[in-house]
Structure 1
Amino acid sequence: MALHNRVSAAELKQRLHEETFKRVTISFYQYAKIEDPQAFRDALYLSLFDLGVFGRIYVANEGINAQISVPEHNFEAFRDTLYKIDFLNGIRLNIAVDDDGKSFYVLKIKVREKIVADGIEDPTFDMSVRGKYLNAQAFNEMVDTTETIIVDMRNHYEYEVGHFEGAIEVPSDTFREQLPMAVDMLKDQKDKNIIMYCTGGIRCEKASAYMLHAGFQNVYHLEGGIIEYTNKAKSQNLPVKFKGKNFVFDDRLGERITDDIISECHQCGKPCDTHINCANDGCHLLFIQCEECAAKYNHCCSEACQTTHALPPEQQAELRKGIEKGLMFNKSRRRRNRV
């Protein structure tokens, strides 16, 4: 069989819509040495395809990073498949907090240079020397009883809709930029307790290692990130110190953690935390839009995009010729619009 999808996106989405069973959205990662990422990728694709798994998985020499959905009736078989792989045996699986089962519609497994782009070129950097894990209870206790600096290692558009109380934003849209920025921002506080956190744990774990590498002393990272923290806090009846919505990189674009709405519509300024991609196929800007503005601008980010989106498909295609691919799904806050 082919080790990649050959069916159109439209047909795959229709098949997902017609499924009569439930799916579970899961994320997991593991830093580990993979000698032959391509061979590992191909074997994993065959195993997960047979189980009906959808999602996005990156494989590199340094490990694996996965965001997937699994048919509920195949969950145990999926878990057993992972546990048969030595470095994934017993791995923590982060179960989505707010899940409609429609997060992914196709399985994509790609070999990358790294499972999270970090820009680190220092050969002395050692990922195995990383910060101490904090579970939900330990996190709450530390922030309640000690002088602690909480650092959000996610991008601006993630922080904007939800974050931990008192967390510091590292104002960048790329992780590779955030690492040296975090070191510079906290350079005079190397003796303080510093907690790094992110969505599922992969970025803050690497960030904790980078901070230790830069000379910081008391570095921690939140085990399993926001997803694991929320699940554990709720199941253990602990106060949930994360406010708002947790941005996720799938078709949901967010999962509700608390009812707090801490961001605003980028067009009219009213309280809102609903991310969408601009409906204009030549833009696809990721931005926050309320229901009223969605109706007013036909799900577009600006009047210019609204005008383009109203044109016949062939005219839109002609206008898109020559547009750089990098503009698609642009997430930069520098392109926020008020129209």
Structure 2
Amino acid sequence: MLLHNRVNGKELKQKLQQSQEPRTTLSFYRYVRIDDPAALRDELYAQWMQWRVWGRVYVAQEGINAQVSVPTEHFEAYRDAIYQHPYLGQLRLNVAVEDDGKSFFKLAIKVRPKIVADGLNDTTFDVTNKGQHLSAEAFNRIAEDPNTIIVDMRNHYEAEVGHFEGAIRLDADSFRDALPMAERELEGQQEKNVVMYCTGGIRCEKASAYFKHKGYKNVFQLEGGIIKYAHEVQEKGLPNKFRGKNFVFDERLGERVGHEVISHCHQCGAPCDTHTNCDNTACNLLFIQCEACAAQYEGCCSDTCQEVTHLPEEEQQKIRQQQPAKTRFSKGRLTARPTVGDQ
């Protein structure tokens, strides 16, 4: 069986947008010793393709990290297979808060050195000695304690559109960058309650173990991250301390958790929390753009990028080949208006 997609990505996206098939988006992870990640990748790909499961999955010797979309008619069979699997049986499935069924259009399962790039040497500390898990109710309670510090372990562009009240937000482009930033913010506060949160829990799982290793006495993590918190406050009628939108790493780019719009369009400054990628694929900048600017700039981050999209495809391809990858996958900031398209 082929272990990769052979259909053009644009064609797959178009097919997904036209499909009326109900699908369920979910994410999960587990830190567990996997002796042969490549063999597990092959096994999962062969099985999941039979159910038309799409998504992005990383497998490493330290575990698995997955965000997938499953046809709703196959969800129970898929869930049962996960729970019966020797490596995956004890993990938690986080079902999306808002789901239009258009989150993923293909399946990619990749073997990586780590399931989340963190820059840490895991041999120097016990990654299983993690922080205490908090339910939504417990999180709300400890958040009211003046001895508590809440740290958002996500990237700056995630926290920009949504975050918990009073949380320290790190100006990080990646989790690798976030860890040393958090360490500087928390320096000298080893006796405080340190509460960490992220999207689904995977980054906090590692970060909480790292900070316990660093001597912090009372380390906690929000169980299941923002996704599980959103479900719990709705199901139990709890106060919602999350403001704005939860950024997600799929085609949706966000799901509504709080009612407020707390961020602004990077081009005109109007209230907006809609992320998009610049339509000039040689740029591909991730930034926030309102409907008016999307119409004015035709989905681009700048006049220059807009001009590029009007060029013949052959010329656009040459520009893409010349553009360094590090600028093609940049993340925009409101304080420094997007300029990648002008380089």
What TM-score results when the alignment is normalised by the length of structure 1? 0.96
| Structure 1 residues 278-297: aligned runs within 5 Å | 278-297=278-297
Q: Which residue of 2 aligns with 1:301?
A: 301
The answer for the alignment partner of 2:193 in structure 1 is 193
The residue aligned with 1:213 is 213
Q: Please tell me whether the aligned partners of residues 137 and 238 of structure 2 are also in contact (alpha carbons under 8 angstroms).
A: yes
CA distance in 2, matches of 1:9, 1:319: 20
AA aligned to 2:338 is N
Hey, what does 2:222 align to over in structure 1? 222
Whole-Å separation in 2 of the counterparts to 1:105 and 1:42: 19
Amino acid at match of 1:83: Y
RMSD: 1.6
Provide the C-alpha distance between the structure 2 equivalents of 1:170 and 1:128, rounded to a whole number of angstroms: 25
2:265 is equivalent to residue 265 of structure 1: yes
Query: Are 1:182 and 2:182 matched, yes or no?
Result: yes
Q: Is the deviation greater in 171-180 or in 61-70? A: 171-180
Q: Structure 1 residues 122, 60: CA separation in 2 closer, same or farther (over 3 Å shift)?
A: closer
Aligned to 1:115: 115
Structure 1 residue 332, shift from structure 2 partner: 5.1
29-38 or 299-308, which moves further after superposition? 299-308
Q: Following the alignment from structure 1 to structure 2, what is the Cα–Cα distance between the partners of residues 34 and 106? A: 24
> What is the CA-CA distance between 1:306 and the residue it aligns to?
1.3
Map of 1:66 onto structure 2? 66
Separation of aligned partners in 1, 2:82 and 2:182:
34
Match of 2:27 in 1: 27
Q: How far is the alpha carbon of 1:3 from its aligned partner?
A: 1.3
2:337 equivalent to 1:336: yes
Partners in 2 of 1:266 and 1:337 — Cα distance?
7
Q: Are the counterparts in 1 of residues 34 and 87 from structure 2 also a CA contact under 8 Å?
A: no
Kindly state the Cα deviation for residue 93 of structure 1 after the two structures are TM-superposed.
0.7
* Counterpart residue identity of residue 31, structure 1: Y
Using the alignment, how far apart are the partners of 1:298 and 1:20 within structure 2?
Answer: 27
Aligned-partner residue type, residue 304 of structure 1: T
TM-superposed deviation, 1:126: 1.2
Q: Deviations over 1:117-157 (max 9, x none)?
A: 01012622211111000011110111124521100000000
Supply the AA of the counterpart residue of 2:285.
L
The gaps in structure 2 that reach 5 residues or longer are: none
Cα distance between partner residues in 1 of 2:170 and 2:185: 8
Q: How much does 1:324 deviate?
A: 1.8
1:21 shift after superposition: 2.4
Aligned partners of 1:157 and 1:331 also within 8 Å: yes
- Alignment size in residue pairs: 339
Structure-2 separation of matches of 1:10 and 1:178 = 33
Q: Deviations over 1:245-266 (max 9, x none)?
A: 0000000010011220111111
Which stretch of the first structure deviates more once superposed, 208-217 or 137-146? Answer: 137-146
> Equivalent residue of 2:141, what SS?
helix
Instruction: Look up the match of 1:154.
Output: 154
Q: Secondary structure at 2:58's aligned position in 1?
A: strand
Deviations 1:39-92 (A, max 9, x none): 011001111111110000000000000000000010111011111212322421
CA contact (8 A) 1:183 1:214 kept: no
Identity over aligned pairs, percent: 57
- 1:319 Cα offset (Å): 2.7
Alignment correspondent of 1:172: 172
Following TM superposition, the consecutive aligned residue runs of length 4 or more in structure 1 with deviations greater than 4 angstroms are none
How far apart in 2 are the matches of 1:87 and 1:300? 43
Structure 2 partner of 1:323: 323
**In 2 relative to 1, CA 314–87 (structure 1 residues): closer, same or farther, beyond 3 Å?**
closer
- Asked if the contact 1:287–1:336 (Cα under 8 Å) also holds between the matched residues in 2, the reply is no
- The 8 Å contact of residues 332 and 338 in structure 2, kept in 1 or not, is answered as no
Question: Which amino acid counterpart does residue 27 of structure 1 have in structure 2?
Answer: S
Structure 1 window deviating more from structure 2 (311-320 vs 178-187): it is 311-320
Report SS of the residue matched to 1:55: strand
> Cα offset for 1:335?
6.2
Question: Is the contact between residue 277 and residue 329 of structure 1 (CA under 8 Å) also seen in structure 2?
Answer: no
Corresponding residue SS for 2:116: coil
